[in-house]
Amino acid sequence: MALTLADLPDDVLLLIVANFECARDVRALAITSRRLHHLARDEGWRVFVRTRFSSLSAPMLSGGKCDWRQLAESLTWQSRCWDRRALEFQSLLPFKEPARVKGPRAKQPGPFQPVIDAHFDPETQEELVVWGAGENVVARYRLRAPRGKWSKVSWLRSEGKDLGFAAGHGDIRAIAIAKRHANHHGGGRAILTGRDNGELVLRSLEPGRYGAAEPNPFGDHIVRFSPAYADDPASGAVSGPLPLQDTILSLDVSHSGNQSLIAAATKSTVLVYGLPEDDSTEVAPLTNYNLRHDVLGNPTTQLCRATWIGQSDVLALALKGCKDSPLQYLSITPSGWTHHVAAKNADVERQFGIEYGNICPNSLQPVQPPGGQRGGNNLLLSAWRDGTCRLQDLRTPSPFDTVYQDNVEPWATMETLMTYGTERFIGGGLNGATIKIFDFRWTKGYYHTSGLPCLDKKPFPQPPQPFMKAPISKAEGRGRCSYALGLACQWHELSKELYYRPNANFFLTHHLPHKMSNTGVWSLAKASDMAPNFYIGVSGGLIEANLEVNSSNLQTSALGDPNFGFDDWKQAETFPGGYEAKPFYLPSMMETGDGLCYRNNDQSILFPRMPVGTPLPDGLDGTLRKQHRLNARFQEAPDF
């Protein structure tokens, strides 16, 4: 008897699935027979996600409210939104801004500068975002509901004055969500807060949500971390005399295996604490490294940030006032600490015309390359005062060193960065509430255009100020893809080119109150690589950004992520936490070129246009609208 496709062994079929370019092909395979349906459900969708989205950190699903098919659906939907710049925004601002201390004791007069962290659990469909608002801690929980229903939302707030903290000296400078054993107080999650006065405390996060009847212990003290609790400062567990714990400038938590390590950076010292799984209430550092003796000989030099790289054995350091080597790192070895200066690449300096000046301390972001790629766990993305963002290997001058820059506004400094695997990264600075979306220009595993119909024309509209030569199509005039010959149509071939995927800036300042006209972006946070939203910390409040597809005529409601999105996220409302939400109805977007650094980026150029979508003619073909490079909000009749 002749063999059919369903008669092939599973491992051969999964090799076929690994070569599918879009989710539509996996679905088509799944509906051909019962056996192939079970294969796709059990293994096929997992293979598709791991193959096409290897550049993102996909969770290990264990049969909760989300399966691999749903994860594939969301990731392909999100990829399309990112490529088409389908982003919507909403401000979350205090409806009465708290008074700030003024005078010699105040270290931070004026609006607070928020520090944010977020977490999303795909199994329970619950999102948590928490931020430091001056001396206060604010948290919002959202439990996702099925489509068409309202999500459960709970706001919690811990007042700093109730704990004895005043504005300025008691302000929260660093914040992080930490995982704990579910049997402990806190239900599996707690919050680390580092303050200007040097206090580092683990506090309760979990109980008292969604109108629970029990007393609300949100913000209750669980564990206090300090060198003062060391029994023997001269013991081998601590490297030298224990310093005083002054202002906590940064916190980073690494969960590696069964151990969770906290790296806390002060102005001169890195302290490493273990996150206790028992009922300890006072914890001393496992080890510390005082840079004052080895590195910070100049009194103007200061440590600003320490970030884990790899598997809790390397810490990247950002220094201020050290122009020769502002980026350094520490290796933790069995014999103790080893201090290094990050390698410099002379070829990169010549190619991009850069100098090793001052680094933006809050910008350090580790980058994990896709499986099998060179670079290991030592890749780091950082922003510098000359307006560049640099991807480099800390240890050696590697071939991965690349320099990115806004081609339109090359001097704009990005104070904070946030990465999505090796797909893209987002930057924000102090030149208004503006976010900059960069493509890493790494090889992509998935293109949403693969699932769209063929077309015998170039992608449209033409990118403004592309800053690179337009590609020459080998499929000129070819209107259909030939899968047997491995030939793509003109539109599918060119849609994968970098030329037609320029970076973009979103300008949000004009949507904020007039008193925030001089605001800046101080922090960025996302719940995970799978989350369809992220948070922007601006002076005095937050902005929530969501991937959302607008309808073609802009009249009907927009659509969010089918599995991880909150359909009711955008609403004008005042919340119990003292905040009010106001949607942005017409965000301004501008495409800014390929995002790579060039020696001539500082030359004068024509300012690119910022499209403002208007209702398109009813007779315009719907398929053609989907093949427009941008979301419906940014489509204009002349584009067609």
The CA-atom distances, in angstroms, between 228 and each of 169, 199, 202, 469 are: 20, 11, 16, 61
d(CA 8, CA 36): 10
**In what side-by-side order are the strands of the sheet with 388-393?**
365-367, 379-383, 388-393, 402-405
At 555 the pLDDT is 46
Q: 534 with 424: CB under 8 angstroms?
A: no
The most confident of the ranges 238-247, 393-402, 525-534 is: 525-534
Q: Is pLDDT at 234 greater than 70 in this prediction?
A: no
Quick check: is 44 in a domain?
yes
Least confident of 77-91, 173-187, 331-345, 595-609: 173-187
What's the CATH code of the domain at 58? Answer: 1.20.1280
The mean pLDDT of 317-342, rounded to a whole number, is: 86
Q: Is pLDDT at 534 greater than 70 in this prediction?
A: yes
Quick check: is 61 in a domain?
yes
Q: With residue 382 as reference, give the H or E element that holds it.
A: strand 379-383
Q: Which residues pair with 427 in a beta bridge?
A: 417, 436
Taking every pair of C-alpha atoms in the chain, what is the biggest distance, in angstroms?
90
Please report, rounded to a whole number, the percentage of residues in the chain having pLDDT higher than 70.
87
Q: What is the pLDDT of residues 137-163, one digit of tens each?
A: 999 999 988 877 888 888 888 888 888
Quick check: is 415 in a domain?
no
Q: What is the pLDDT of residues 367-402, one digit of tens each?
A: 987 654 554 578 899 999 989 999 988 877 776 688
The CA-atom distances, in angstroms, between 20 and each of 49, 222, 475, 533, 566 are: 11, 50, 22, 27, 30
Q: Is pLDDT at 229 greater than 90 in this prediction?
A: no
Least confident of 141-155, 199-213, 341-355: 199-213
Quick check: is 344 in a domain?
no
The mean pLDDT of 461-468, rounded to a whole number, is: 80
Quick check: is 103 in a domain?
no
Question: Model's pTM, two decimal places?
Answer: 0.92
Q: What is the pLDDT of residues 155-184, one digit of tens each?
A: 888 888 888 888 888 999 999 998 876 554
The residue range of the domain holding 16 is 5-84
Quick check: is 31 in a domain?
yes
Instruction: Supply the DSSP string of 398-437, one letter for each residue.
Output: -TT-EEEE-SSSTT---SEEEEETTTEEEEE-SSSSEEEE
Quick check: is 50 in a domain?
yes
Please report, rounded to a whole number, the percentage of residues in the chain having pLDDT higher than 90.
43
The C-alpha R_g of the chain, in whole angstroms, comes to: 25
Quick check: is 433 in a domain?
no
Number of separate domains in the chain: 1
